[in-house]
Amino acid sequence: MKPAPFGYRAPTSVAETVSALAELGDEAKILAGGQSLVPMLALRLARPENLVDVNRVPELSGARRENGRLVVGATTRHATLEKDPEIAAAVPLLRRAAPYIGHAAIRSRGTLGGSLAHADSAAEWPAVVRALDAEIEVEGPAGRRRIPAAEFFETTFTTALEPDELVTAVSFPVWSPSAGFAVEELARRHGDFALAGVVCGVEVTDGRIDRVALALIGMASVPERAEAVERALVGTAVTDLDLADVGAQAVAHLDPPTDVHGSGRYRRTVGAVLVRRALTAALEEAQQ
Amino acid sequence: MTDVEVTLTVNGRARTVRVEPRKTLADTLREDLRLTGTHLGCEHGVCGACTVLLDGEPVRACLMFAVQAAGAVVTTVEGLSPGGDRLSPVQAAFRQCHGLQCGFCTPGFVVSATAFLAENPDPTDAEIREGISGNLCRCTGYQGIVRAVRAAADTMAADTQEASA
């Protein structure tokens, strides 16, 4: 057996989960889909005293429309986000991004909330929730709160979540049905974490951009938005755009990480190209 | 740590095991249930050799604990054969198309391909490659494996046509 021994709890409600976390304190780790945590346990990079398995909490899974938003439960699997037609109709970016996550067997188990709580900036969901300004719903002994995506990610593997809180759901705004979306990534092999990537949404009225979001994958310690570029784009006529220049501007403020897979400079060059491609594709879709 | 009793259905049979919570589903299948067709390569979710079906969906059996499979329906490579010496269409196609060499990765590929074809019975070659992308073969056998999945799809389509004729 590769993981170190741990105590195991499988609560069946959010209330029971919260009280288990309160009781066990820093010694507990939540087990959701396990597609990042279990490898870390196997390699003994993580050795929690206790695992609190949230897979048997029914209220944490599934999606519902609520006040014009789509609320997706934290343990909803990547495969559900990839395949559910109602989820795709409300928030098309979820279906667009899901196929980039790992492989089929990973997507069967991995969860939306788990990916966000893990907070790897090279992953897809952190960039998707940043692009859409989603809110992360969390619950702890002090009650429930909603954390805007912009405030949720603090740095690599670190979020605004308190140790005794769990992610319960993600609330996504629903964009206009005529909006265009795109996800572009470069990875060494399909399914690997991206060297660089872009998540894009855009709405166009009478040939002018009236809403745009560009979130960058793997370009910083957290998923970053190209906010200055977005502000400049709003109100611009699509025909006046120099997309290559927009791509370069969108990544100019970033200092991407250098690692064995690629240098920071390489990531910035690739990121600029991916922004151009994603914006081109999203604009095309928005104008159909 | 205290052992826990876990009851699950494996290849159509209800089975009960007593395991430590840290014991993976893969180790439990191999050691407690003696179903050694499920292979363990990397044991941290990269190679896909341990792929099994959990309630019909492909999962990496090294990335979940047996205790998490309580109440679930698990199908391993041993459960894919229609019985006796007969091979499933996917298994037969792997044999015919040289879809294996050393055979270590084969159970994972066969289970992944079976799940993939159940969901997408008429795939393009690009979809086949994507469908098996979570499994690694180190004998450089991918061409034969892609051909095997294509051949299995064709056999299963012909069988379906025959059945409905």
**pLDDT tens-digit map of B19-55:** 999 999 999 999 999 999 999 999 999 999 999 999 9
* pLDDT per position as a tens digit, A80-118: 999 999 999 999 999 999 999 999 999 999 999 999 999
pLDDT in tens, A20-64: 999 998 889 999 999 999 999 999 999 999 999 999 999 999 999
Look up the domain containing A34 and give its range: 7-53
Q: Give the CA distances from residue B157 to residues A189, B111, B126, in Å, rounded to whole numbers and listed in that order.
A: 31, 18, 19
Out of A132, A154, A171, a domain closes at A171
Structure tokens at B148: 């095997």
- Give yes or no for a contact between B29 and B6, defined as CB atoms under 8 angstroms apart: no
- Rounded to whole angstroms, the Cα distance separating A51 from B67 reads 12
ipTM of the complex: 0.95
A4–chain B Cβ distance below 8 A for any pair: yes
How many whole angstroms separate alpha carbon A248 and alpha carbon A268?
Answer: 8
B68 and B120 co-located in one domain: no
Helix, coil or strand: residue A9: strand
Query: Using CA atoms, how far apart are residues A172 and A66, in angstroms rounded to an integer?
Result: 10
The answer to whether A240 touches A254, Cβ cutoff 8 Å, is no
Q: How far apart are CA B144 and CA B98, in angstroms?
A: 5
Question: Domain containing B138: what range?
Answer: 89-164
Q: Are residues A41 and A106 in the same domain?
A: no
Residues A185-222: tens digit of each pLDDT: 999 888 888 999 999 999 999 999 999 999 999 999 99
Examine residue A209 and state whether it is found in any structural domain, yes or no. Answer: yes
Q: What is the mean pLDDT of residues A130-159?
A: 97
- Residue A131 and residue A228 in one domain: no
pLDDT, one tens digit per residue, over A246-263 is 999 999 999 999 999 999
Tokens read off for A208: 């002018």
- Residue B35 included in any domain: yes
Distance separating the N- and C-terminal Cα atoms of chain B: 58
pTM as predicted: 0.96
User: How far is the C-alpha of A28 from the C-alpha of A10, rounded, in Å?
Assistant: 12
Q: Are residues A164 and A189 in the same domain?
A: no
**pLDDT of B121-136, one tens digit each?**
999 999 999 999 999 9
pLDDT of B1: 64
Name the domain boundary from B79, B97, B128: B79
Question: Quick check: A45 contacting B, CB < 8 Å?
Answer: no
Residue B84 lies in a domain: no
> Which residue in chain A has the smallest CA separation from B60?
A105
Q: Which residue has the tokens 């089929």?
A: A104
Q: What are phi and psi of B56, to 5 degrees?
A: 85, -10
Query: What is the pLDDT of chain A when averaged over all its residues?
Result: 96
Taking the C-alpha atoms of residue A92 and residue A103, their distance in angstroms, rounded to an integer, is: 20
**What's the CA gap between B92 and A186, in Å, rounded?**
36
Chain B hits for A109, CB-CB cut-off 8 Å, are: 59-60, 63-64
Counted domains in chain A:
3
Q: Which residue has the higher pLDDT, A193 or A277?
A: A277
Q: What is the CATH number of the domain that holds A37?
A: 3.30.43.10
Q: In terms of domains, do B104 and B135 share one?
A: yes
- Of the candidates A4, A99, A108, which has its C-beta nearest B57's C-beta? A108
Q: Answer yes or no: is B122 within a domain.
A: yes
Handedness of CA A20, A24, A25, A30 (dihedral sign): negative
Q: Which residue has the higher pLDDT, B94 or B165?
A: B94
**Is pLDDT of A165 > 90?**
yes
Report DSSP state, residue A97: H
Burial of A62 (0-12, 13-18, 19+ CB in 10 A): middle
CA A51 → CA A40, A94, A137, A219, B138, distances in Å?
13, 28, 21, 31, 34
Is the per-residue pLDDT at B116 higher than 90?
yes
Half-sphere exposure of A38 (CA within 13 A, CB side): 29
**Position A193, amino acid:** F
Alpha-carbon distance B65 to A6, whole Å?
12
Residues A257, B32: Cα–Cα separation, whole Å:
45
- Residue A137, classed as helix, strand or coil, is strand
Contacts of A43 in chain B (CB under 8 A): 44
Q: Among A79, A102, A104, whose Cβ lies nearest the Cβ of B116? A: A104
Q: Reply yes or no on whether the pLDDT at B3 is more than 70.
A: yes
Nearest beta carbon to residue A105 from set B23, B43, B60: B60
Q: Which residues in chain A have their CB less than 8 angstroms from residue B114's CB? A: none
Q: Would you state the pLDDT for residue B84?
A: 76
Q: The domain that contains B31 carries what CATH number?
A: 3.10.20.30
